[in-house]
Structure 1
Amino acid sequence: MSYLVGKIVLDVVAGAPNNGLSEDNVARVKQMRIGRAVHPYISAQAVRRWLRDSLPASEPVSPVVRSGTGQKQQAYTHGRPDRYIDDDLFGYMVAVKGDKAKTCQRDTVFATGTFVSVAPRRPERDFGTMSRGFGAGENPVIHGHEFYSAELAADVLLDMPRIGVFEIDGTGLKVALPGPTAAEVEADGAEPVVFRGSSALRLDMEERRRRAALLLHTLTAVRGGAKRSMHYGDRTPALILLAPVKGGINPFTRILGVRNDQTQFDADVLRAEIEAWGDELDGPVLLGWSPGFLGAQREKAETALADLVSAGRLLIGHPRTLLGRLANDIEDGARDSWFEDAKE
């Protein structure tokens, strides 16, 4: 069994990809304070929405059900992970009052942290005017918004053995498939198994491979974000580190730091963690690094880590190339052991 864990870094240049609440007719970007420093951020919900929207057009996504009015509204997906990859990988909660046949919950299989700027960056404020069609002498309508440039990073984890495996017993909302739905899924060919102490249904290996590979391909082609009419920019990972780890621990959260107010990749930290967790690694660490990102730091890292690359413990390349190769290996069955839970 293996979890794919690591770090994703986005390179935002003069962008406003995720907005917070507006104040005084100014659209503000999401931001947080650490001491006196301001750090823009992108919520995990936003990035997961981008991933959903970036799936191939041929891949069906779970329809959303909306009910109620005012403050008593509810919105939830169909809760059918057997049919929809987003319900499988991103989880859901269907809570229908008084209807146990529909109430269910699935924790996320692909976990993402909040994408926070590594170095402090105070957003700039811009303004625009609307005067088109106004008469002579009429004042324009003024509106403002914030934007920023920053490298934003978040931890990620993909629980490989849970892809395509759905709990059908337990307590409360821990059941991923309620009784009637579970019976339908089993009749469609899902295999009954015991998974981490609970009864579950498991899709066939071919479909599980396909879903894992599709997520990796989509990560390298993600698009989205707010304010694209004024601040369009690349939203694919500028840097992505993924490592197959047996226990689900993510030891690579501190590979980025700040020096002279600039984001720095710390090759010594990566080396130390690879050495410390070598017995838990289930394959080489993948470091996808887009050319030109962080200037000459990639070349310095390649030199500093050349022995790990030569030993096959670390692979460095373009994010699209490395993740595409891993996705192909998964679809070809070369990583089937990652899907098997140790407790099965």
Structure 2
Amino acid sequence: MKNIIGFILVDAPHSALNNAGTDVGARTDNTVAVKKIVKKGERGYETYPYVSAQALRYWWRDTLKERCSWKISPIERQSKIAFTAANPFKYDDDDIFGYMRAQGKKEGGTVTRISPLKCSPLISICPSVPVDDYGVMARQEGDPVPYEHQFYSTVLKGIFSLDIDRVGRFTLENRAGHLNITEHMKDEWEKAGAKEKDGVVELPEDIRLKRVKDCLRVLPYLFGGAKQTLHLTDVTPKFLVLGIIKGGNHPFMNIGKNDDGVPKIDFEALKEALHDYKDEFIGDIYIGKRKGFMDNMEDGLKNFVNKINGDSKFGHKIHNTTINEAVDMFVNQISL
């Protein structure tokens, strides 16, 4: 198993990127609340706004469609269930984002594909109590109609991984989670140039590599989010760390920290992760940061990079540059 792993920070200075629906206990009947979790911290119970992983994946898929001309699998509805075409040879997103489609025995039975692209929710690094914004609709005669919605100001952190070895490879093994496709799709895979060997159908290398690279290439162009009309927010990562690792571990998960209400990168935690997993990393580590975001970390970041690059025990190089350059450099060195 070989995984691309990434850690990202998203700036949400005046945002309501993912809503939870109506707030039943609010002052007005049509109050929209943001998604948030509450957990016990040093100062009692604290609120952390978040964006669901489902929302993040929706943004990602939409961006791939717009920027890379991906063929997106159509959604089919039957009664109370919905599913995609489950055709990863024709539709790029069925390969990367996975699927589950219940089919009759004549069609080969139910097929399932666990997504090679895994994401966490984007969660606020520091506690942040959302603001209740009160407004009225008053562009008509009669009493104005009151409404409320919530928004917040915070920095969100998240992680993702992409299993390179599984992209463009589909198993015919008839057991839970492993029946990605059936023999009924043989015409489809042959049309796409895929070959079958030992129960695994594999797309040509150029198609597989393009899908992997496209997933990373769009990171500086991610777009989406709720309430953008009133709370326009650029959801592209403002800080990211990218690497390739053997296995399924994600050593970058805990490098974002709350420093008495101020979001920071824990360089000691990152240093420890890099050294503990130095034999597992494949190639170099790429760090990107957008100017104007958390500029107080600039000196600490440069010192950290210089120390690691001067340490012969680590055995890899850290590239510290802009977001777009870091992504481009990382994408250019990816191989299958």
**What secondary structure sits across from 2:215 in the alignment?**
helix
**Is 1:26 matched up with 2:31?**
yes
Q: Please, which of 139, 162, 165 is the counterpart of residue 169 of structure 2?
A: 165
Aligned to 1:45: 54
**Aligned-partner Cα distance in 2 for 1:168–1:287:** 39
Question: Alpha-carbon deviation of 1:188?
Answer: 3.9
TM-align CA RMSD = 1.7
Q: Residue type of the partner of 1:234? A: D
**Aligned-partner Cα distance in 1 for 2:109–2:15:** 41
**Aligned-partner Cα distance in 1 for 2:206–2:86:** 22
Q: Residue type of the partner of 1:205? A: E
Aligned to 1:342: none
Aligned to 2:261: 261
- Number of aligned residues: 321
Q: How is 1:52-201 mapped onto 2 (pairs within 5 angstroms)?
A: 52-57=61-66, 58-68=69-79, 73-96=80-103, 100-101=107-108, 103-132=110-139, 134-135=140-141, 138-186=142-190, 188-194=192-198, 199-201=199-201
Structure 2 unaligned residues grouped into runs of 5+? 24-28
Q: How is 1:230-249 mapped onto 2 (pairs within 5 angstroms)?
A: 230-249=230-249
Q: Deviations over 1:143-162 (max 9, x none)?
A: 11000011111221110111
**What secondary structure sits across from 1:146 in the alignment?**
strand
Q: Residue type of the partner of 1:61? A: I
**Aligned-partner Cα distance in 2 for 1:283–1:188:** 31
Question: Alpha-carbon deviation of 1:326?
Answer: 2.2
Question: Alpha-carbon deviation of 1:16?
Answer: 0.4
CA contact (8 A) 1:166 1:176 kept: yes
CA contact (8 A) 1:109 1:162 kept: yes
Q: Residue type of the partner of 1:262? A: V
CA contact (8 A) 2:305 2:320 kept: no
**What secondary structure sits across from 1:326 in the alignment?**
helix
Aligned to 1:286: 286
Q: Residue type of the partner of 1:315? A: H
**Aligned-partner Cα distance in 1 for 2:5–2:239:** 14
**Aligned-partner Cα distance in 2 for 1:212–1:298:** 31
Q: Deviations over 1:287-332 (max 9, x none)?
A: 12111222221331111331324565211111211112222333xx
**Aligned-partner Cα distance in 1 for 2:188–2:300:** 55
CA contact (8 A) 1:12 1:150 kept: yes
CA contact (8 A) 1:5 1:157 kept: yes
Question: Alpha-carbon deviation of 1:174?
Answer: 2.7
CA contact (8 A) 2:70 2:93 kept: no
Identity across matched positions, percent: 29
**What secondary structure sits across from 1:292 in the alignment?**
coil
Q: Residue type of the partner of 2:254? A: R
**Aligned-partner Cα distance in 2 for 1:192–1:279:** 33
Aligned to 2:333: 329
CA contact (8 A) 1:213 1:327 kept: yes
**Aligned-partner Cα distance in 1 for 2:173–2:52:** 32
CA contact (8 A) 1:186 1:192 kept: no
**Aligned-partner Cα distance in 1 for 2:130–2:244:** 36
**Aligned-partner Cα distance in 1 for 2:186–2:81:** 23
**Aligned-partner Cα distance in 2 for 1:10–1:151:** 6
Q: Deviations over 1:269-294 (max 9, x none)?
A: 11111111111111111112111222
Question: Alpha-carbon deviation of 1:101?
Answer: 2.7
**Is 1:252 matched up with 2:256?**
no
Q: Residue type of the partner of 2:327? A: L
Q: Could you state the TM-score of these two structures normalised by the residue count of structure 2?
A: 0.91
**What secondary structure sits across from 2:88 in the alignment?**
coil
**Aligned-partner Cα distance in 2 for 1:208–1:92:** 18
Question: Alpha-carbon deviation of 1:98?
Answer: 6.0
**Aligned-partner Cα distance in 2 for 1:250–1:14:** 30
**What secondary structure sits across from 1:171 in the alignment?**
coil
